[in-house]
Amino acid sequence: MNKYHFPEGFLWGGATAANQMEGGFDEGNKGLNIADVLPGGKERLNILQSPGFNFEIDREKYSYPNHEGIDFYHRYKEDIALFAEMGFKVFRMSIAWTRIFPNGNELEANEEGLAFYDRVFDELHKHGIEPVVTISHYEMPVNLVKEYGGWRNREVVTFFERYVNAIFNRYKNKVKYWMTFNEINSGLIMPIMGLGFAIHKEEDKYQPTFQAYHYQFVASAIAVKACHEIIPDAQIGCMILYAPVYSYDSNPENIMYALQEERFFNYFCADVQVRGEYPAFVKRYFKEHNIELDIREGDLELIKEGTVDYIGLSYYMSRTEKKEKSDLENAQGNLIGGVKNPFLKASDWGWEIDPVGLRIGLNQLYDRYQVPLFVVENGLGAYDKVEEDGSINDDYRIDYLRDHIRAMGESIEDGVELMGYTTWGCIDMVSMSSGEYSKRYGFIYVDKHDDGSGTLARKKKKSFFWYKNVIETNGEKL
């Protein structure tokens, strides 16, 4: 027993994304999205961003694990039954934009794609699980990347509006929790996945990136307003990649540097989406760097009116920063870097493990925004071993999750309004950054390997039974 009191109705569950798990990449009239042209392997993000990359599939050169994913497209019934056995209250998934609008710019939605998600939502409801849907999870239609230049082009706002109206109208009785753009702030580091274009010259970075953000904020506000109108009893949130930034030491120069990193990376997007205004630190930056945005009449009012109901966040690690870091070793991370923190251990992929950072982060976010928070991603990517008797004893994963759940419990005692917790990759799937199957996060093991072998059979890990008990006791038994 522990001292934490997770509120009644706390949304326990797991999280996924269409492109990493569905497979069926060319079935049901689906069009290609960014993740479909992502090769397997650790170099995938560099390949995607390299000059001359043509966003085409090249099977002679590369493999494409996302094309098969874990075949959720055909096996969703079996998987949802397993989630239900664990007692999931919610299941976070994304809708693949290109199942609904294969090229992004059609006038009519694709019925086969719409019908697929109907079946998934119905299956979830059959088991008493509420879907939590990300509208755009690194799944921009390739056609919009190639022909329109991604979110740099204002026309994409119109296409996105058509997409959200189609899904809100279709699923208004089935989906009550929505999120707009997955890890929207990640585009500041790597615009290709979320904003749909690559930067090849440093000097070209800021103007197009902030312009694309402006259009995305307009699109987000349109989505929020449409959601509130079409589904009045729904909640719609933003979603940020959150890694609280620590100063390496008490040198005020480093503390100021860490504060700037914190504000630009962690708060910029949330400030606009939650408060409905561009923050002063960004306005100063625009002025000093001669950044002039195409902000049309009515845009700022729209952004003010279309503020989100909650903040969804991914949390895997904190980040430690120093102004002059040449003498220090870099840390690895979820798109973000920083320097190694001497007080923290790291995962097999070098991601620093910091449960206290989650408590710090939740408190900072709540202090700043005073809106409900929802931890929609957190987990440990690790190598799992299937023992001779078939068991998978992932105690390291249980320890990781237990410590983070404790940190959430502390935050709730601190007064943070926390809606729920969906662990990332509740079932093993393809890793986003490294394109590997072997980087596993799940409670459910999937027999699929980096060389493409495997039967795709599902198997319960030790953590499956542990998490079931956590949910059953509403976080009392950890």
Per CB under 6 A, residues contacting ligand BG6 are 17, 20, 182-183, 241, 314, 334, 377, 381, 424, 431-434, 439
List Cβ neighbours of 183 (8 Å cut-off, separation of 6 or more): 138, 194, 239, 240, 241, 314, 335
Q: How far is the CB of 94 from ligand BG6 (least distance, A)?
A: 9
Nearer to ligand BG6, 183 or 271 (CB): 183
Q: How far is the CB of 376 from ligand BG6 (least distance, A)?
A: 9
| DSSP E strands, 372-426 | 373-377, 418-424
Nearer to ligand BG6, 240 or 303 (CB): 240
Take residue 208 and report the two structure tokens written for it.
């197009």
Residues annotated as catalytic are 183, 377
What one-character-per-residue DSSP string does 48-90 give?
HHSTT--S---TTT---HHHHTT-HHHHHHHHHHHHHHHT-SE
Nearer to ligand BG6, 114 or 241 (CB): 241
Q: How far is the CB of 239 from ligand BG6 (least distance, A)?
A: 8
What one-character-per-residue DSSP string does 199-242 give?
--SGGGSHHHHHHHHHHHHHHHHHHHHHHHHH-TT-EEEEEEE-
How does strand 11-15 pair with strand 90-94? parallel
Main-chain dihedrals φ then ψ at residue 310, nearest 5 degrees: -155, 165
Nearer to ligand BG6, 153 or 185 (CB): 185
How does strand 235-241 pair with strand 310-314? parallel
Nearer to ligand BG6, 148 or 421 (CB): 421
Q: How far apart are CA 420 and CA 397, in angstroms?
A: 19
Main-chain dihedrals φ then ψ at residue 457, nearest 5 degrees: -65, 145
